[in-house]
Amino acid sequence: MSSSAFDLLVGAFALMLVIEGLLPFFSPRVWRSVFERATRLSDSQLRFIGLSSMLAGLATLYVFWN
């Protein structure tokens, strides 16, 4: 059975939502603390975190798809 690229994209998005929902579900106090600290970061710090996350995701995809 083959999946289309759209099916993979929707599945990946759904998995991302599940993973991102784990911390606020199991530990809302910790999640709130992390979120409050994140709001105090500068734009350049947030961009660096976003870039690092994207690069880590791309590296993971490359390793597991090749």
55 φ/ψ angles, rounded to the nearest 5 degrees: -65, -40
Express each pLDDT in 19-29 by its tens digit. 999 999 999 99
- Extents of the domains making up the chain: 5-65
Q: What is the pTM of this model?
A: 0.70
47 φ/ψ angles, rounded to the nearest 5 degrees: -60, -40
Q: Where are the beta strands (DSSP E) in the chain?
A: none
Residue 6 pLDDT exceeds 90 = no
pLDDT (average), residues 27-39: 94
